[in-house]
Amino acid sequence: MAYTISDIAEALGARALGASDILVQRVAEPAEATADDLALALNPKFADGIKEGKARAAVLWDGADWQAMGLEAAITVPRARFAMSGLTRKFDLGHGQKPGIHPSAVIDPDATLGVNVSVGPMTVIEAGAMIGDNAQIGAQCYVGIDVSLGAGAVLRDNISLLARVRIGENFWCHSGARIGGDGFSFVTPEKSHVETARETLGQEVTADRQSWVRIHSLGAVQIGDNVEVGANTTIDRGTIRDTKIGDGSKIDNLVQIGHNVVIGSNTLLCGQVGVAGSTQIGNNTVLGGQTGVGDNLKIGDNVITGAGTMVLSNVPSGRAMLGYPATKMETHIEAYKGLRRLPRLAKDVADLKKAILNRGSKD
């Protein structure tokens, strides 16, 4: 596909400068761009690469002197990363799935498919499933009994939506995700050593030879509109009530969301985040990579955790957290600075002790 500079500028809500009728076929890094590419230099530090490449046009930061760079055309944008969203959407080639129902797909007669639905090879759609208009379901997916999948959804390959999962419109799910599996919930006939340790904060750990008994998951999973789920992520169904994920939330690869968890709207969970059962997370919160969240906690709105944070207690709205256990980010950083100063402090104390002892011996 090829677009003119003016077409691209219009898609970005930006202004085209120079020869806006130039056609470009791809987006490229400045030093690697050919004459048919649109160079991407959204920061002045990438400007030198334009001279190394052969691009005739580029997307640049606001106020860039594009003519001094030898370009014939340019698009300037005030917010670089936001421009990346529109630009990559414009040039996205997709994954090449053909429209229509593949002959190897197995679709129960009691399933309902909307108009213009695409179903890939070896996919199974069970009875009572309802698939919205323009949905794309890739190869070897499984859509369980009574699942509801909204219009415009995109499922890549090898995705499982288990029984009674309900998902809104414009859902985007990457390869290998599993949504609606049973929660990890087991109990012993009598109080277990785990319960004792928790009650006593580890002061008492009793011997225990009891068998673990499953607590079955009767709830399902509800996911709102415009949600994205990453590759190999797992979302457990609720025990009695549903696990819920709000509109606009984005979940990265290899994330585990436990049973009964409630996540608000426009919240981001980065790679390898783990959220234990029955925890509530607010709106517009961002959990950095490998953040761990204990069970039955409440995390407020607009909370940010740094990578590797372990949340073991409730977090109020509007707070940035870091560390293990999670503390205010500025407090953790000050404590870390103090920790780094300890060797020097220990040396200073040793030197002072030696000086005092030496003075005492002379006296």
Q: What is the pLDDT along the chain (363 residues), one digit of tens a residue?
A: 789 999 999 999 998 999 999 999 999 999 999 999 999 999 898 888 998 999 999 999 998 999 999 999 999 999 988 989 999 898 988 877 778 999 999 999 999 999 999 999 999 999 999 999 999 999 999 999 999 999 999 999 999 999 999 999 999 999 999 999 999 999 999 988 988 888 888 888 888 899 999 999 999 999 999 999 999 999 999 999 999 999 999 999 999 999 999 999 999 999 999 999 999 999 999 999 999 999 999 999 999 999 999 999 999 999 999 999 999 999 888 888 888 888 988 888 888 888 888 876 666
C-alpha to C-alpha distance for 181 and 183, rounded to whole angstroms:
7
Q: What is the pLDDT of residue 361?
A: 67
Beta bridge partners of 136: 118, 154
Q: What is the pLDDT of residue 254?
A: 98
- Domain spanning 3-91 has what CATH number? 3.40.1390.10
Asked if 35 and 53 count as a contact pair (C-beta separation under 8 A), the reply is no
Helices (H), the chain: 5-12, 47-52, 80-91, 193-199, 329-362
C-alpha to C-alpha distance for 335 and 329, rounded to whole angstroms:
10
C-alpha to C-alpha distance for 197 and 58, rounded to whole angstroms:
61
Distances in Å between the Cα of 42 and the Cα atoms of 47, 77, 78, 255 are 9, 8, 9, 31
Q: What is the pLDDT of residue 201?
A: 83
Q: What is the pLDDT of residue 363?
A: 60
CA 130 remoteness from chain centre: 26
Q: What is the pLDDT of residue 202?
A: 83
Q: What is the pLDDT of residue 206?
A: 81
What residues act catalytically?
259
Q: What is the pLDDT of residue 362?
A: 65
C-alpha to C-alpha distance for 278 and 262, rounded to whole angstroms:
7
Domain map of the chain by residue range? 3-91, 327-363
| Count of residues making up the chain | 363
The count of other CB atoms within 10 Å of the CB of residue 341 is 11
